């Protein structure tokens, strides 16, 4: 019999009856062969490995994070409630100390979903990690959180959500945005003026293999985590860095993923992408589960695994060392960079305007964002959003640790919203865990 | 007439039924060192003065295989396992003569690495030299493609007396459990075969030339001939006998809890619309996790003879037992003694029971009568708590579709059926302290033997279609067929029913007892690139556990008989 060295929780929710559309990579079949492998390997029989049934999240859980336009029911399906609920269930099991660590092997994924949601982008509607984290903050009072996103695509949704939060360290390791969707995630994206350095990006060149990933984890991610000292570490465990993935260009292996998991020692892992449903996922997931449970994974191997065929070039190795150096430098100089950034600002706000494209649903959005520059909290945040669906809304976020000034500012913004400019106004009052909505259209 | 016989730890119950109900019931003492005599003794007594020609069916539920496995006195057999990449197969080692070999098959049944013939031959020679006669052969994913198991057998043909192949034990995926199940089948094979051959011979000599059916852990039966190579299926048939006995009295279309309250344990099961709930994976017995189909049961170490202690301000019941209750000459206080003190049990020594409870009462600072009440109350509470936990566990079992998560069936029992020795004494109080309606099963003393007698033949088939590869296969049934691209789910369901019917009839079912149902029915479109390249269809069908049709009327008469 097999005994887990570390008590591990697992939510397996393959959503065998849900797809974006029948031939979409995010379809019913995606975790079928993973299920076969997990069953055949008898992973659920491991003593100390517990499978939990996911409890769907509530509307409040979603509204804590997202401004869904017009509302959560319109941008989510039942499957999203359950998938986010899977992450939340694992988070609770870990914080209730039922298990030491856990893995939400769920779909659909979430790391491309930003704070404002008009529809789906990058196969994601709502950010399942963020929903879990903010639930855990509200229910268990956890403070500092680190998210390490190892999906092949830049976790731009998670980055957006935590852009202004100095208490959440977001590190994304991904294929260079010049060669892959969503085209962002460069080393100079470091977070907003109140949170410089708690967003970090490690863009890796195409054809990076195990060596390069593990180098970045050991030499860049782990030292930064040591420095940041999070209460809890989350791994957005996308599996599309695999050498057989059909929509990316990396050369990571199942054993590499297991080693990464073992190095990172995340408290909670949440499945993100990964579309090599036969060649990679069955083996990668088996490897991750064994590694989380502290068990031997050295005999996990894809049928066509050939390390020589996928070995990275010396050029790639050198590039990765260079990128790692830049990221570490940015991290060490984050206070200096923040100071410089703030010096360049006039007044008490920082503004930016962005265009966001929802590729999965074909929606275009323009956001005008304003954050209060604040040294005492994450800063009140307002987003004026308009989309080509015709929706126009004001979204106001008061962070959980907000100072009095920022609380008042956020309240004022929300109250002053009028029907001339917006159809709807939303308020996320995190200190009071209250989520309000005003319907301003007089139709 | 039919005979049902259930071997228990202390007693063996035997019943004789005819179309009018219970003709006779007897109890004989179980001699666990000589089950053969026990069984024959029971059968001889129940058939006394009965014309053997009138007996049409004999169903036996024994502890034979269970005992051997629990005691760990299994004969040596050889195991050859072909794993390929994954968890180290040495971690699944069942016994001394256990050899992993090369060869690998993937989740869709495609060969990844071939079997090494020389390696297999040399292990075969080593096993033979060690005197091994029975050989188990198990491959990873053999439930999808058994060719490697068959190949190993071919290589070693003639060198061993009997072969046991992993893909024949179940259509379910679980390599480790497939290994354990195959091993148990191989290991208990000689004992099981010898035992039942002897029983059959002896019955023949008495002029009783009827097919012998053996009760399985899933509450169904199979004929002796079919059980020879799958003796593992007969383990833990005892609890199944009791539960099947309870189904005879269960109302239709309701969720029911069944408690079998014995001396050492209380066993619990759940009936839904008169059919027992099955375990989703398989029996766990001692250190073995298996793929053996079984009823979902929960056993707790609380029974009439459990030892009662007062510790740290709390009454503790069991889980150990130290012989009989003091009221029956034992040495340690028990819930039975509490019942004796309360005057509920009368055919025993009440003074001895009082003496037994005295130290506990004085420690608690209350009278012996009050202590008795408290002990009994606590016993009932613990049993109910365990039942709640079992129901919770069943309802929190993970599901894998949005539909099931939203609409999935939730078990909500409102009634309890109780059987076993002290059943009548418990029923009233269980009802008083809970929301349940509690009923004692009529003929509660021999309900287990009645359950065995009336259980129908059950089985399961798993069918797997892969239209991209053009394969339709049910390795457990030795079934494989080529199919075209346009093979449908309906065709798969039809095929599954056909295989199931064949199998059921072959292992002893009569055609009127084929209550078949689909347990799993999944279809996935396989998409490679952005093209649909095939369908992946998985069907699982079973003959539902239940009672035989011909004796349907008997059940009603049984209830009437016991009322009078
Ligand atoms: Zn991705
Ligand atoms: Zn502030």
Q: Does the pLDDT at position A333 exceed 70?
A: yes
pLDDT of residue B559: 65
CATH for A3-335, options being 3.30.70.60, 3.40.800.20, 3.40.50.300, 1.10.1740.10: 3.40.800.20
Q: Nearest-CA distance from B65 to chain A in Å? A: 22
pLDDT of residue B563: 47
Burial class (CB in 10 A: 0-12, 13-18, 19+), B51: exposed
Q: Nearest-CA distance from B119 to chain A in Å? A: 20
Tell me the per-residue pLDDT of B422-477, one tens digit each, with 9 for 90 and over.
888 999 999 999 999 999 998 778 899 999 999 999 999 999 999 999 999 999 99
Residues 6+ apart with CB under 8 A from A187: A201, A202, A203, A323, A326, A327, A330
CA–CA distance, A95 with A143 (Å, rounded to integer): 13
Q: Does the pLDDT at position B89 exceed 60?
A: yes
A84 interfacial to chain B (CB closer than 8 Å): no
CA–CA distance, A433 with B99 (Å, rounded to integer): 60
Confidence bin at A102 (pLDDT 50/70/90):
very high
Helix (H), strand (E), coil (C) string for B429-479:
HHHHCCCCEEEECCCCCCHHHHHHHHECECCEEEEEEECCCCEEEEHHHCE
Tell me the per-residue pLDDT of B228-255, one tens digit each, with 9 for 90 and over.
999 999 998 989 999 999 998 888 899 9
Residues 6+ apart with CB under 8 A from B36: B195, B198, B199
* Tokens linked to B347: 């055919």
Tell me the per-residue pLDDT of B264-291, one tens digit each, with 9 for 90 and over.
889 999 999 999 999 989 999 989 999 9
Tell me the per-residue pLDDT of A298-320, one tens digit each, with 9 for 90 and over.
999 999 999 999 999 999 999 99
Nearest CA in chain B to A10: B398
Q: How far apart are the first and last CA of chain B?
A: 22
pLDDT of residue B562: 54
* Tokens linked to A338: 């923040």
A303 interfacial to chain B (CB closer than 8 Å): yes
Q: How far apart are the first and last CA of chain A?
A: 66
From B175, B287, B525, residue closest to A1, measured CB to CB: B287
What is the arithmetic mean of pLDDT over B338-353? Answer: 92
Residues 6+ apart with CB under 8 A from A420: none
Concatenating the DSSP letter of every residue in B283-298 gives -EETTEE-----B-EE
Report which of B340, B342, B319 is spatially closest to residue B330, judged by C-alpha positions: B340
What is the arithmetic mean of pLDDT over B392-411? Answer: 91
A-chain residues near B399 (CB < 8 A): 53
Q: What is the mean pLDDT of chain A?
A: 96
What is the arithmetic mean of pLDDT over B91-112? Answer: 97
Helix (H), strand (E), coil (C) string for A11-62:
EEECCCCCCCCCCCCCCHHHHHHHHHHHHHCCHHHCEEEEECCCCCCCHHHH
Report which of B386, B387, B181, B126 is spatially closest to residue B292, judged by C-alpha positions: B181
Percentage of chain A modeled with pLDDT above 90: 95
What is the arithmetic mean of pLDDT over B126-138? Answer: 96
Q: Are A23 and B396 inside 8 Å of each other by CB?
A: no
B-chain residues near A16 (CB < 8 A): 400-401, 522, 524
B-chain residues near A33 (CB < 8 A): 107-108
* Tokens linked to B184: 């148990």
Q: Nearest-CA distance from B287 to chain A in Å? A: 8
A306 interfacial to chain B (CB closer than 8 Å): no
A21 interfacial to chain B (CB closer than 8 Å): no
Q: Each residue of B471-503: b (16+ CB within 10 Å) or e?
A: bbbbbbbebeeebeeebeeeebbebbbebbbeb
Domain boundaries of chain A, sorted by first residue: 3-335, 347-442
For residues A402 and A164, the answer to whether their CB atoms sit within 8 Å is no
Hey, of B401, B403, B540, which one would you mutate to test binding to chain A, going by the most A CBs within 10 A of its CB? B401
Q: Are B141 and A40 inside 8 Å of each other by CB?
A: yes
Q: Provide the β-strand partners of residue B539.
A: B463, B521
Q: Does the pLDDT at position A202 exceed 50?
A: yes
A397 catalytic per annotation: no
Q: Nearest-CA distance from B151 to chain A in Å? A: 21
Q: What is the mean pLDDT of chain B?
A: 93
Q: Does the pLDDT at position B206 exceed 90?
A: no
pLDDT of residue B413: 96
Q: Does the pLDDT at position A55 exceed 90?
A: yes
Task: Among A318-332, A428-442, B23-37, name the most confident range.
Answer: A318-332
From A16, A27, A78, residue closest to B400, measured CB to CB: A16
Instruction: Report how far apart, in Å, the C-alpha atoms of A257 and of each of A153, A240, B394 are.
Output: 16, 11, 34
Q: Nearest-CA distance from B420 to chain A in Å? A: 32
B158 φ/ψ sector (left φ>0, alpha ψ -120 to 50, else beta): left
**Percentages of chain A per state (helix, strand, coil), in multiples of 5:** 35, 25, 40
Confidence bin at A337 (pLDDT 50/70/90):
very high
Residues 6+ apart with CB under 8 A from B372: B337, B338, B339, B341, B342, B357
CA–CA distance, B251 with A381 (Å, rounded to integer): 62
CA–CA distance, B480 with A342 (Å, rounded to integer): 72
- Residue ranges and CATH numbers for the domains of chain B are 2-71+191-240 (3.30.420.40), 78-186 (3.40.50), 252-440 (3.30.420), 460-543 (no CATH)
Hey, of A2, A10, A28, A42, which one would you mutate to test binding to chain B, going by the most B CBs within 10 A of its CB? A42
Instruction: Report how far apart, in Å, the C-alpha atoms of A220 and of each of A25, A237, A240, A391 are.
Output: 32, 18, 21, 42
For residues A300 and A258, the answer to whether their CB atoms sit within 8 Å is yes
Percentage of chain B modeled with pLDDT above 90: 80
A283 interfacial to chain B (CB closer than 8 Å): yes
What is the arithmetic mean of pLDDT over A186-210? Answer: 97
pLDDT of residue B560: 63
pLDDT of residue B554: 78
Task: Tell me which ligand sits closest to the C-alpha of residue A349.
Answer: 2
**Among A218-222, A396-400, B65-69, B349-353, which stretch is predicted with the lowest mean pLDDT?**
B65-69
Q: Are B175 and A29 inside 8 Å of each other by CB?
A: no
What is the arithmetic mean of pLDDT over B27-31? Answer: 91
CB-proximal residues (5 Å) to ion ligand 1 = A 151-153, 238, 240, 273
From B176, B396, B527, residue closest to A45, measured CB to CB: B176
B-chain residues near A18 (CB < 8 A): 401-402
Q: Are B87 and A299 inside 8 Å of each other by CB?
A: yes
What is the arithmetic mean of pLDDT over B170-182? Answer: 97
């Amino acid at each position: 019999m097999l005994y887990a060295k570390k008590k591990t929780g697992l939510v397996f929710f393959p959503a065998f009856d849900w797809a974006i559309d029948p031939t979409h990579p995010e379809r019913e079949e995606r975790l079928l062969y993973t299920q076969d492998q997990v069953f055949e390997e008898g992973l659920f029989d491991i003593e100390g490995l517990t499978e939990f049934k996911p409890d769907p999240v509530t509307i409040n859980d979603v509204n804590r994070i997202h401004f869904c336009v017009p509302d959560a029911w319109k941008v989510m399906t039942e499957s999203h409630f359950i998938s986010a609920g899977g992450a939340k269930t694992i988070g609770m099991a870990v914080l209730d100390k039922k298990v030491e660590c856990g893995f939400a092997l769920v779909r659909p994924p979430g790391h491309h979903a930003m704070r404002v949601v008009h529809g789906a982008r990058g196969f994601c509607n709502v950010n399942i990690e963020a929903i879990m984290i903010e639930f855990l903050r509200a229910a268990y009072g956890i403070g500092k959180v680190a998210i390490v996103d190892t999906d092949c695509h830049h976790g731009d949704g998670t980055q957006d959500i935590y852009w202004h939060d100095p208490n959440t360290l977001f590190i994304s390791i991904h294929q260079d945005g010049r060669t892959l969707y969503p085209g962002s995630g460069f080393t100079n994206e470091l977070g907003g003026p109140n949170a410089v350095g708690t967003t970090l990006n490690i863009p890796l060149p195409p054809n990076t293999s195990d060596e390069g990933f593990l180098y970045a984890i050991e030499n860049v991610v782990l030292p930064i985590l040591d420095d940041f000292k999070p209460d809890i570490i989350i791994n957005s465990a996308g599996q599309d860095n695999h050498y057989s993935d059909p929509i990316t260009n990396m050369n990571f292996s199942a054993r590499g993923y297991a080693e990464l998991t073992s190095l990172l020692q995340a408290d909670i892992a949440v499945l993100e992408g990964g579309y090599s449903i036969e060649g990679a996922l069955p083996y990668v997931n088996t490897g991750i589960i064994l590694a989380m449970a502290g068990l031997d994974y050295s005999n996990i191997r894809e049928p066509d695994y050939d390390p020589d065929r996928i070995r990275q070039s010396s050029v790639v190795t050198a590039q990765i060392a260079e990128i790692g150096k830049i990221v570490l430098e940015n991290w060490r100089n984050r206070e200096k960079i923040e100071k410089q950034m703030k010096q360049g600002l006039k007044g008490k706000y920082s503004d930016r305007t962005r265009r966001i494209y929802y590729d999965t649903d074909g929606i275009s959005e323009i956001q005008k964002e304003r954050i209060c520059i604040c040294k005492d909290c994450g800063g009140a945040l307002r987003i004026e959003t308009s989309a080509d669906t015709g929706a126009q809304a004001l979204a106001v976020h008061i962070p959980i640790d907000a100072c009095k000034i920022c609380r008042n500012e956020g309240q004022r913004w929300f109250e002053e919203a009028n029907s001339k400019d917006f159809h709807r106004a939303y308020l996320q009052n995190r200190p009071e865990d209250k989520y309000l909505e005003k319907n301003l259209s007089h139709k | 007439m039919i005979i049902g016989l259930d071997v228990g730890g202390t007693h063996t119950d035997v019943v004789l039924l005819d179309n009018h109900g219970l003709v006779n019931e007897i109890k004989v003492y179980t001699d666990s060192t000589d089950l053969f005599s026990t069984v024959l003794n029971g059968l001889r007594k129940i058939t006394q003065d009965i014309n053997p020609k009138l007996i049409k069916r004999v169903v036996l539920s024994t502890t034979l295989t269970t005992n051997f496995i629990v005691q760990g006195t299994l004969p040596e057999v050889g195991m050859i396992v072909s794993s390929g990449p994954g968890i180290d197969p040495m971690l699944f080692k069942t016994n001394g003569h256990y050899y992993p070999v090369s060869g690998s098959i993937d989740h869709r049944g495609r060969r990844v690495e071939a079997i090494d013939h020389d390696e297999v031959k040399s292990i075969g020679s080593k096993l033979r030299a060690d005197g091994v006669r029975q050989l188990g052969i198990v491959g990873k994913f053999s439930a999808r493609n058994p060719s490697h198991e068959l190949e190993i057998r071919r290589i070693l043909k003639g060198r061993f007396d009997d072969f046991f192949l992993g893909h024949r034990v179940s259509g379910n995926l679980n390599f480790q459990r497939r290994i354990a199940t195959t091993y148990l089948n191989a290991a208990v094979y000689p004992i099981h075969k010898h035992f039942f051959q002897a029983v059959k011979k002896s019955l023949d000599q008495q002029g009783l030339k009827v097919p012998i059916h053996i009760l399985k852990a899933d509450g169904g039966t199979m004929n002796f001939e079919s059980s020879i190579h799958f003796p593992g299926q007969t383990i833990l048939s005892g609890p199944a006998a009791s539960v099947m006995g309870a189904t005879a009295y269960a109302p239709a279309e309701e969720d029911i809890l069944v408690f079998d309250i014995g001396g050492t344990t209380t066993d619990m099961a759940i009936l839904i619309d008169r059919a027992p709930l099955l375990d989703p994976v398989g029996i766990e017995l001692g250190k073995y996790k298996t793929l053996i189909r079984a009823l979902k049961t929960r056993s707790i170490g609380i029974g009439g003879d459990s030892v009662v202690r007062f510790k740290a301000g709390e009454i503790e019941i069991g889980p150990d037992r130290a012989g009989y209750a003091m009221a029956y000459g034992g040495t340690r206080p028990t819930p039975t003694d509490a019942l004796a003190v309360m005057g509920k049990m009368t055919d025993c020594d009440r003074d001895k029971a009082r003496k037994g409870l005295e130290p506990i009462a004085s420690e608690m600072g209350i009278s012996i009568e009050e202590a008795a009440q408290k002990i009994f109350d606590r016993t009932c509470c613990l049993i109910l708590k365990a039942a709640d936990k079992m129901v919770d566990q069943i309802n929190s079992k993970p599901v894998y579709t949005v539909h099931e998560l939203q609409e999935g069936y939730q078990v909500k029992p409102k009634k309890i059926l109780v059987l076993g020795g002290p059943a009548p004494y418990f029923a009233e109080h269980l009802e008083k302290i809970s929301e349940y309606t509690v009923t004692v099963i009529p003929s509660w003393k021999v309900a287990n033997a009645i359950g065995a007698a009336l259980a129908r033949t059950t089985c399961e088939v798993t069918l797997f279609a892969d239209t991209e590869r053009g394969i339709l296969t049910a390795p457990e049934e030795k079934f494989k067929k080529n199919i075209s691209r346009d093979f449908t789910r309906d065709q798969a369901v039809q095929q599954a029913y056909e295989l199931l019917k064949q199998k059921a009839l072959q292992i002893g079912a009569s055609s009127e007892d084929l209550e078949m149902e689909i347990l799993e029915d999944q279809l996935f479109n396989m998409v490679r690139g952005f093209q649909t390249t095939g369908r992946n269809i998985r069907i699982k069908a079973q003959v539902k556990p239940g009672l035989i049709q011909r004796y349907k009327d008997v059940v009603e008469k049984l209830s009437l008989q016991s009322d009078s």
